[in-house]
Each structure stands twice: as C-alpha cells, then as structure tokens.
Amino acid sequence: MSRWRSRGGSASESTEPEPTSHTLEPQTLEPQEAEAKPEEREAEKKGWLSRLRGGGSVSETIEPEPASETLEPQTFEPQSLEPLGAEAKPEESEAEKEAEKKGWFARLRGGGSASDTPKPEESRREESQPEASEEVGNDVEQEQEVERKGWFARLRSGLAKSTKRVTESITSLFTKKKLDQQTLDDLEDALIQADLGVSVAARLVGKLGKERFGKEVTEEEVRAAFADDIAEILQPVAVPLAIDAARKPHVVLVVGVNGSGKTTTIAKLANLYRREGRTVMLAAGDTFRAAAVEQLKVWGDRAGVPVISKPTGADAAGLAYDALERARAENYDVLLIDTAGRLHNKTNLMDELAKIVRVIRKLDPDAPHSCLLVLDATTGQNAHAQVETFKALSPIDALVVTKLDGSAKGGVLVALAEKFQLPVVAVGVGEGIDDLRPFEARVFARGLMGLPS
C-alpha cells in the first residue's frame, strides 16, 4: 500500500498484465450500469431544480455520458414490433380467403358475382348494427326475462322453509324401492303436517297410489308427481285481478285482520298497477290504528302514488267517500281503499265495513268493484276461519297471500284454493316494494316441491 501512495499513481498505472484487465471488464461494466441509473435520476433531479430556480430548459441540463451510452443498446421497440406485424398479416389473409371461399360458394349456388359478396369488414359492421326497433324489442324482452327469473328466485327462496318441511319428509320415507301402502300412509301424514290439508293430501296420495302402487319409484319422481297435481289444483284460481278500464276509477276495497300485511300490500299493489301504466290513488281508511295512516303515506311515497288521509279516529266511511269523489274528478284508473283490521269479536269494526260500502255506493252503485282479502300465510290453518268470517260480511272476490317467506306453512295456499275456489291474485315473499307479484300456479307448485320452475 505504501508503494502505491509514494508513486501517487492510479489504478490505470498498475503493472498487472493486460489479459487480466480484459477478463475483468465484463464484471466491472455490470455494476457501472447498475450505478448509472441512480446517477441519471440524481442528475435529472438537479437539472429540474436548477430549471425551477432559474427558468432553464431541459436542453441546459447536462446528462452524464456513461449512463446514456450504457442505456442506448437497451432499445428493443423496433425488434418487438416487427414480429407482431408480420404475424398479423397471415391472420388477415386467412380471413379474407375464407370469406372469398364462402362468397364463391354462394355465387356458385345463386349466380351472384364477386361484387355482390360483402367483405369481411363490411359483413361484421352490418351484423353489429341491427335495426333500432329490433334493439328496443330485444332489450325489453331481456329485461322482462331477467325480472321474471329474479322473481322466481325470490319466490323459491321465500318458500324455502315450506319446501324443506315437505321434501325432507318425503325423502326420509323412501327406504324401499317399491311403493307400498305404509309409504302412502306416511306420505299423506307428511302432506297434512305441511298444511296442505286433509282433502288435498288424500287427493295427491290417492292418485299416486293408483298410478304407481307396487312399482319402483324414487323420491324425485314422487315430488314431480305431487307438483303436477298441485299445479292442477291451483291453476283455476291463478287469475289476476281484472281492472275494468271503463270504470274511472276501479274501486278496490282491501280487508284483513291486524298484522296480515294489509296496509303494505295495498302500496305494493299500487306499485304493481302503476308499473302497468295505470294511475292509482290510495285512501288511508284504517283510521282506527294510530300508525296506519303514516305507514300508508310512507309506502305511498315509495310507490309514487297519492294518499288521501284524515287524522286518526276520523270517520272511515267519510274518508272513503272523499277519496272516491276526488279520484273520479281527476280521472284515476284505480282507487285502493285501506280498512281497519277486523276480527270476529270487533263488532264495531265489522259494522264500519258495511258502512263504508253503503256510503261509497252513493257515488257509484256498483262500488266496490273488487274486494280483496289479505291473508298471512304464517297463520296456517287459521286462514280458513278468516276466509269464512269475511265471506259472511262482504262479497270477497279474491285473495292475496302474504309472508310466504315467514314460515313453513306455505302449503296452506293449496288447501285454501281447493276448499274455497277463490282467485289468488297475488302472493308476497318479502318486505320490498317489488316483493308482491301475480300468482302463477306451476311456479308455486314446483317451488313448493323444491323443483326448478
């Protein structure tokens, strides 16, 4: 080390042989290239700061030469672009050849000329530009199909508890390959426990035994057979509420016991009819319950329809009269009248219902044009007693069954249809404004049996 300091030389004055320095050059260049990048960034940073202070330009900044020399050989853009262009040409030529080939076959069949054959680019543009009317029609159909599938999914989800109750009972019974009398008896008990009722259970099991007794059968085949028979029972009552366009308005009186979902059902029906393009007005006739008026106002805002109301305790018949008078003056299509929840032991409420009918008939002798009874599916067989009670008080035209998602008693709808033969105009499976839809027999039957719609 003293020898190097005394001479004051540098590393270039070393007496080491030249081959050694040549062999070390590849090893020393790599670190220099790696170190050049931070130096370049530092130089660029200093140049930027100097320009910021003195207003200099980029050309005034002196970049280090070694860094530029080491970075120049690393440009691969021309080399990477040429192969891509070369590869793209054969693909285009193949597409043109295929199009030309198809065009030749078409001309051979039809006598056309080469000029009649569209180029691939033109044909693709034509295919991608359908007529506006077709686009609108397809969009509407697709939206309706998506919405319909969404409703089916919600219905099946809402019936999950009822489905589980029925299907698990059926599945547990099939330990034998052949259908015998003991299995039929057990199946009948399972259907009764699922609230389908004695009459419906006997009908379904009797038909199954007549067709498959002593034969090999699987639980999937049994569920499919039951679904078909249930759909046959429900089909006659799956009738939508007919709104008479000649009546302005068509008056619908909605009745039901407290807690059946009557008030929310009215708003959901309003939303359903409004989406059909009808004008709808609501009358908050449940003046007996303190929160009913405000509840209907909130739901009316959600549905986008006006609500006629009076303070709690006001005369419900007088309110119904005022609402009908206004709906007629403003030419509304539908007037839905809410009423207080009535029980068989509430004589005054029952009398009020009769009074509402008498008063609105002063304006329209045929009103109400429809009377809907809202039933809570969670009440099970108690729904039978409600139908019988309200039928004795007013001419019930149809049923709306709500809260099918609330319990495992969805089978009661089948029993009601078989016993009373009243139309079921709508069913509800949730609390949302769109969770009430027209009743479809086959979809409900297959959903109840855990089968795809």
pLDDT of residue 60: 43
Nearest CA among 387, 437, 378 for reference residue 410: 378
Rg for the chain (alpha carbons), in Å?
41
Residue 147 pLDDT:
58
> What pLDDT, on a 0 to 100 scale, did the predictor assign at position 230?
97
SS3 76: coil
b/e string for 229-249 if b means 16 or more Cβ within 10 A?
Answer: bbbebbeebbeebebeeebbb
Alpha-helical segments (H) within 285-346: 292-303, 316-329
Q: How far apart are the first and last CA of the chain?
A: 94
- Which pLDDT score, from 0 to 100, does residue 167 have? 75
- The CATH number of 158-236, from 3.40.50.880, 1.20.120.140, 3.30.70.260, 2.130.10.10, is 1.20.120.140
pLDDT score, position 276 = 93
Give the pLDDT score at 129. 46
Task: Return the pLDDT at 202.
Answer: 97
Q: Say what the alpha-carbon torsion angle 139, 143, 144, 145 is, to the nearest 10 degrees.
A: 100
CA distance 73 to 95: 38
The verdict on domain 240-440 having CATH code 3.30.360.10 is no
Judged by DSSP in three states, 254 sits in: strand
The stretches in the chain having pLDDT less than 70 are 1-163, 175-177, 343-347, 406-408
Q: What is the predicted pLDDT for the residue at 15?
A: 42
Question: What is the pLDDT, as a whole number, of residue 149?
Answer: 58
pLDDT at 384: 93
Q: How far is the C-alpha of 268 from the C-alpha of 249, rounded, in Å?
A: 18
Query: 398-402 and 250-255: which strand pairing?
Result: unpaired
Q: How far apart are CA 443 and CA 234, in angstroms?
A: 10
Residues in Cβ contact with 162 at an 8 Å cutoff, skipping those fewer than 6 apart: 194, 404, 407, 408, 409, 410, 411, 448
Q: What is the residue extent of each domain of the chain?
A: 158-236, 240-440
**The predicted structure's pLDDT at residue 359:** 96
Q: Are 163 and 447 in contact (CB under 8 A)?
A: yes
In tens, the pLDDT along 41-56 reads 665 656 655 555 554 4
Secondary structure (3-state) at 66: helix
Contact yes or no for 205/184 (Cβ under 8 A): yes
Sign of CA pseudo-dihedral 358, 359, 360, 361: positive
H-helix or E-strand spanning residue 437: strand 436-438
Predicted local confidence at residue 86, as pLDDT: 40
pLDDT at 442: 95
